[in-house]
Amino acid sequence: MSENGDTQYNNSNRAFLQAFLARSTLTYDEAKPILAAILTAHEKRETLPEDVTERDFTSYITAANTALSPFDLEIRSTHHQQTRARIYALVNCTSDPITQLATTHSADEISYLKRVLDGMFETYNTPRHEVMAITSMQAVRLHKLPAEHNSRRETQDGAATQGSAGQGLTMMQAEKVLQTVVEEGWLEKSGRGYYSLSARGLMELRGWLVETYNEAGDEEEDDEEERVVRVKLCFACKEIITVGQRCPKRSCTCRLHDICTQGFFRTQTARKCPLCKTEWTGRDFVGERAVTGEAGSGPGRRRSGGGSTGRRNTQVVAEEAEEAEDVEVEGPGGDEALEGPEEIEEDEDDEA
């Protein structure tokens, strides 16, 4: 097989880039049969998927990035939060990342998707329950604009909603938009019907998410406890975490992906939080498990065993979010942030 990195940009590179654009995201394993077919046609001899090396794949990525650079586009990579498989995605290097969706979506659809993101990272992301995901029903209910359409974030992100007719969407239109962005690779939908940002979405929106949902406290204060940190990074890999484990101490900001915990604690003398030294339970979750209570990423036993526990827990989070609107939240470490409704377990005891 010829070394593509030593040749000029040719039709095989163009074919690979077109295939990448058609899929939005690729892994090395997914790319091997694609490159095998391209090389078979280009070199006039059969190339099998197992003949494609990671070096071949990397050389095509490098050539594609060189061709894309003048258009402010770049193929970047990150690890999937649960499988840790390396995922490559095409991202826009300039402008406000949220506006990049506007090339294929209307202004009203962009406004709706912004409300979905607000739901993920604000409404259903509280100090007690960092869900950072939204159910199908919760997402569809956001199809209409709020009664008072003067959201602070909508105002800040005027570019994302400029030109909006201000009429919102119908429920059917909202469902179609959700389906479309899942197909485009921006969102993922779990088996339980929760929508969350995909690896591609986290990769391209990283800077915007941190800037939008992590608020600074008093400008004259340099105390980290005065900051509201809704978007957190994994302590081990330093990537945004929306699925994983958290320190049992609510005021602590340490979070770890499930797979990152395996390697991290293997090198530690004790299974304790690296920041506050609290015993790490492995049963305090980030993501939809914060409300379903599963101990693993696959099917498992719920904490309280009730068939409706997940639905009731989700309702608790929603009620907590509504109450939080009347509380001035100082941040993850503030006393105000720890106020809220009774613990889920206590609620369930009362119901029993």
- Start-to-end C-alpha separation, the chain: 68
CA-wise closest residue to 303 among 315, 316, 289, 314 = 289
Q: Answer whether residue 177 shows pLDDT above 60.
A: yes
Predicted local confidence at residue 329, as pLDDT: 35
Q: Which residue has the higher pLDDT, 125 or 293?
A: 125
Section 163-168 average pLDDT: 63
Using a pLDDT cut of 70, give the percent of the chain over it: 69
Q: Answer whether residue 100 shows pLDDT above 80.
A: no
Predicted local confidence at residue 285, as pLDDT: 95
Section 63-83 average pLDDT: 89
Angle at 320 between CA 309 and CA 254, to 5 degrees: 85
Predicted local confidence at residue 339, as pLDDT: 36
* Rg of the chain over all Cα atoms, to the nearest angstrom: 22
Q: Are strands 86-92 and 73-79 parallel, antiparallel or unpaired?
A: antiparallel
Predicted local confidence at residue 163, as pLDDT: 47
Section 77-88 average pLDDT: 88
Angle of the 171-183 helix axis to the 107-118 helix axis, nearest 10? 80
pLDDT tens sequence across 103-123: 678 889 999 999 999 999 999
Q: Answer whether residue 305 shows pLDDT above 50.
A: no
Inter-residue contact 126 to 317 (CB < 8 Å) = yes
Predicted local confidence at residue 217, as pLDDT: 52
Residue labelled with tokens 């590179």: 13
E strands, the chain, in order: 25-26, 73-79, 86-92, 134-135, 187-189, 194-197, 214-215, 228-229, 244-246, 255-256, 285-286
Q: Which of 143-147, 272-276, 288-292 has the lowest mean pLDDT?
A: 143-147
Section 71-97 average pLDDT: 83
Q: Answer whether residue 2 shows pLDDT above 90.
A: no
Averaged pLDDT of the chain: 78
Domain positions in the chain are 11-71, 94-147+165-215+228-294
Banded pLDDT at 97 (limits 50, 70, 90): low
How deeply is 145 buried, as exposed, middle or buried, from its count of CB atoms within 10 A (0-12, 13-18, 19+)? buried
How deeply is 96 buried, as exposed, middle or buried, from its count of CB atoms within 10 A (0-12, 13-18, 19+)? middle
Q: Are strands 244-246 and 73-79 parallel, antiparallel or unpaired?
A: unpaired
Predicted local confidence at residue 315, as pLDDT: 54
CA-wise closest residue to 128 among 327, 328, 316, 352 = 316
Q: Which of 51-60, 149-158, 209-218, 330-339 has the lowest mean pLDDT?
A: 330-339
Using a pLDDT cut of 90, give the percent of the chain over it: 51
Q: Which of 24-38, 198-212, 217-231 has the lowest mean pLDDT?
A: 217-231
Q: Measured between alpha carbons, how far is 42 from 7 in angstroms, rounded to an integer?
A: 13
Per CATH, is 94-147+165-215+228-294 categorized as 1.10.10.10?
A: yes
Tell me the sheet residues that pair with 229.
214
Banded pLDDT at 335 (limits 50, 70, 90): very low
Banded pLDDT at 148 (limits 50, 70, 90): low
Predicted local confidence at residue 98, as pLDDT: 57
What is the maximum alpha-carbon separation in the chain?
Answer: 73
DSSP string of 108-166?
HHHHHHHHHHHIIIIITB-SS-B---EEHHHHHGGGSPPSS---HHHHHTHHHHTT--S
Q: Answer whether residue 348 shows pLDDT above 50.
A: no
Predicted local confidence at residue 307, as pLDDT: 44
Q: Measured between alpha carbons, how far is 252 from 271 in angstroms, rounded to an integer?
A: 16
Predicted local confidence at residue 225, as pLDDT: 52
